[in-house]
Amino acid sequence: MTLDHIAITAETLEQGVDYVETALSVPMAGGGKHRLFGTHNRLLGLGDIYLEVIAVDPLASAVPHCRWFDLDRFCGPPRLTNWICKTNEVATDLPCALAGTGPMVEVSRGDLIWHITVPENGCLPLDGCAPALIDWGDVPSPANSLPNQGCRLRKLKITHPNPYELTQFLMVSLKDTRVIVEHSEQPSFEVEIDTPWGLKCLR
């Protein structure tokens, strides 16, 4: 299992893109629409992973189920809310995921098709701090084709009042020194990104 991407959610896609582009001083690449969840996104390559800005698509038809990443209940300014780990061994890795991570569902964006864990209520465990698992199958991750803007992830810090389960997950399933879990009174995410203009932070 490896880190695949990190997600910033926003009330509108335009607000989310403006937040990232202003903070990092680099342009985001195009994305697309996810018909299953009525959302759309834009992407930014970070080397071996990527950053996603995602929001409800106001032009999409209503969906009969909860949207992923708890977007039905999202409000406020754009912020980092989720992280996603890539698996090539679903049968092995899914049982290691935190309880409530959800079943794998098939999602598409244009011609791209993949599988990702989505809980029935749309919210990942530990107030969204648990990672979703994604399986790209035979399709390369978008990180491989995004423009190189000279940005790289230095650190992803996740904090939670009960960090034990996440800490165990890191020890057993994800050995990535860039990902750090700490205790805090409130759940939160923070990333440090090296850019051509120095180290920048997104929350």
**Any alpha helices (H) in the chain, and if so which ranges?**
13-24, 90-93, 164-173
Q: Residue 114 contacts by C-beta under 8 Å, 6 or more apart in sequence? A: 106, 107, 108, 134, 135, 136, 137, 139
Does pLDDT of 74 surpass 90? yes
The model's pLDDT over 88-113, given as tens digits with 9 standing for 90+, comes to 999 889 998 999 999 999 999 988 99
Q: Domains of the chain, with CATH numbers?
A: 2-149 (3.10.180.10)
DSSP class of residue 30 equals: E
pLDDT at residue 91 in the model? 85
Rounded distance between C-alpha atoms, residue 105 and residue 36, angstroms:
10
pLDDT at residue 79 in the model? 98
Does pLDDT of 36 surpass 90? yes
Rounded distance between C-alpha atoms, residue 143 and residue 33, angstroms:
17
Taking alpha carbons only, the member of 145, 164, 115 closest to residue 44 is 145
Instruction: Provide mean pLDDT across the span 167-180.
Output: 93
DSSP class of residue 5 equals: E
Give me the amino acid identity at 161: P
- Reading the block at residue 201, the tokens are 């932070």
pLDDT at residue 53 in the model? 99
pLDDT-derived band at 180 (thresholds 50, 70, 90) equals very high
Which residues on neighbouring strands pair with residue 6, listed in sequence order? Answer: 51, 83
Instruction: Provide mean pLDDT across the span 13-20.
Output: 99
For 96-135, b where at least 16 C-beta lie within 10 A, e where not — what string?
Answer: bbbeebbebeebebeeeebbbbbbeebbbbbebbbbbbbb
Please spell the DSSP secondary structure of 167-198, one letter per residue. Answer: HHHHHHH---TTEEEEE-SS-EEEEEEEETTE
pTM of the full structure: 0.96
Rounded distance between C-alpha atoms, residue 154 and residue 190, angstroms:
11
